[in-house]
Amino acid sequence: MADLAAFKRDARAWLEENCPSSIRQPNRTPGDTVLAGPNKKFPNKDAELWFQRMLEKRWITPGWPAEYGGGGLSADEAKILKREMSRLKCPSPVFDQGQAYFGPVIMEYGTEAQKMQHLPPIARGDTRWCQGYSEPGAGSDLASLKTRADDKGDHFLVNGAKIWTSGADKSDWIFCLVRTDFDARKQKGISVLLIDMKSEGISTAPIELISGKSEFCQTFLDDVKVPKENLLGELNNGWGIAKRVLQFERKLMSGEEFFTAQGPDVVATAKKYLGTDEYGKIKNRKLRSEITRHLMHNHADLLNGTRIFFSAKTEDADPNLPLIMKYSATTELKNRDELMLSILGNRGLSWEDDEFNREEKIASQSWATTKAYTIAGGTSEVQLNIIAR
C-alpha cells in the first residue's frame, strides 16, 4: 500500500506538470478527442504536446506489458493513474477501440505473431480499428449474422455486409465476426477475423444522421481474401471472443474515466444560470434536489466501479456486476443531460448557432449523444434480461 501511495503522489505530480492546463476542461466535444491512426488530427498544439508526453511515458496503454508497447503498470497502478487523470480533468491523449477493447482481447486470445504485429502500433496510437459486428439483419440478435468466410485453403473468402461500423471509412483494421460453419447452431459457427481495411473488395458508405453528420458507416465485403493467420482464436469459437469484447466495451462505458473527466459541472452551471440565494445555494429548490440526487447516484457509481475492480480479482467474482454498472452508469448519464437541459432552459436548445456559447452547444449535443450509450455495447433491456437470468 505504501508503494501505491507513493505511485499516486508521483503520478499526480507528473500529470500536473505535463498535462497543459488549456486542455483540462470539463466540457469536451467530439472535436476535442484525438483519434488514433497514421494521420492524427490534433485540435491544438497543447493536445499534440500532451500526446507526445504520454507516448514517451508509455501511458497511452499504461497497464499493457512493456514488450507490447505499454507502460508495464500493475492493475492497481493503472487504476490509480486513471483516477488521477479524472480528478485533474486530464483527457485521454488519444482514443481508439483498439486500445479500449480489441487490443486487450488480442492480448488474451492472439498468437504471439498477432500480438507483435498489432499491439505495439495500437499502443502508439498509430492504427485505428473498427468493429464489424452488427449487420442489417443482426443487431440485438448478433448471433444471427450472415457474413460468411469460406475456407479456400490458404485463405478465407469473406462476403457480407456490416452496419453502424463507427469510423470504418478511416480505419486501418476491422475486428470482424464471420460465419465459418453454416450448419452449426448459430452461436457455434462464428469466428473472428482481423481484416486489413485496405484489402481488395472492402468498401464503405457513410450513414447520414438527422444532424447531417455521422461517424457511422455501412461496410461491404465482396470476395475479400483474408490470410488464415488472421484468424483470432479457434475456428468456430468466436462467440466467446465476441462477448469478451463486449465486456471491455461495457467496462469502458461504465468506467469513471468515461463520464467524470468529460462531464459538465452541473452545480456550477446551475448557479450560473439559475442564480443563488442569500446562503449561496441554487435558487430553484426542485432542481437543487434533483442535482443532489444526481450527484449521489454518480458517487454511488464510482464506488460500485471500485467494488467491481477489486471483486474482479477474486475467484467468486459476480459476472453480473459489470452489466449492472453499465446499465446504471449509462442511465445516469442520460439523467445528467436531461438535468442540464432543465437548468439551461431555452439556452439548451442550441446546436451550432453562433448566438449560443460553447457550454450550451455541448449540453444539447451531449443530450442527444448519451441516449445512444444505453444501446451501444448491448441495450439496457438486454443487460437487465441477462442480470435477471
| 324-375 residue pLDDT tens | 778 888 888 888 889 999 999 888 887 776 788 878 888 887 887 777 777 7
Structural domain boundaries of the chain?
Answer: 2-124, 129-232, 241-388
10 Å CB burial of residue 323 (0-12, 13-18, 19+) is: buried
User: What 3-state DSSP class applies to 379?
Assistant: coil
Kindly list the catalytic residues. 249
What band does 261 get if pLDDT is binned at 50, 70 and 90? very low
Alpha-helical regions (H) of the chain: 2-18, 45-57, 75-87, 97, 103-109, 112-124, 238-254, 256-259, 266-274, 285-311, 321-344, 358-370, 380-388
* Residue 72, C-alpha cell as written in the block: 508495464
**Separation between Cα atoms, residue 30 and residue 255, nearest integer Å:** 18
For the domain covering 2-124, report its CATH number.
Answer: 1.10.540.10
User: What 3-state DSSP class applies to 81?
Assistant: helix
Tell me the pLDDT tens digit for each residue of 288-332: 999 999 989 888 877 777 777 666 666 666 667 777 778 888 888
Please report the pLDDT score of residue 248 as a whole number. 81
How many CB atoms lie under 10 A from the CB of residue 65?
Answer: 15
Q: Which CATH class is domain 129-232?
A: mainly beta
pTM: predicted TM-score of the whole model, two decimal places: 0.81
Task: List Cα–Cα distances, 92 to 46, 80, 108, in angstroms.
Answer: 13, 14, 23
20-24, 50-54, 193-197, range with the lowest pLDDT: 20-24
In this structure, CATH architecture of domain 241-388: Up-down Bundle (1.20)
Q: What residues form DSSP beta bridges with 225?
A: 157
Which residues are CB-contacts of 262 (< 8 A; sequence separation ≥ 6)? 26, 27, 28, 91
> Is pLDDT at 54 greater than 90 in this prediction?
yes
Same fold? 2-124, 241-388? no
Please report the pLDDT score of residue 203 as a whole number. 97
Please report the pLDDT score of residue 313 as a whole number. 60
**Separation between Cα atoms, residue 7 and residue 303, nearest integer Å:** 21
Please report the pLDDT score of residue 364 as a whole number. 82
Please report the pLDDT score of residue 260 as a whole number. 46
Dihedral over alpha carbons 31, 35, 41, 46 (to 10 degrees): 80
Tell me the pLDDT tens digit for each residue of 58-108: 999 999 999 999 999 998 899 899 889 988 989 899 999 999 999 999 999
Percent of the chain clearing pLDDT 70 (strictly above): 90
* Residue 284, C-alpha cell as written in the block: 430553484
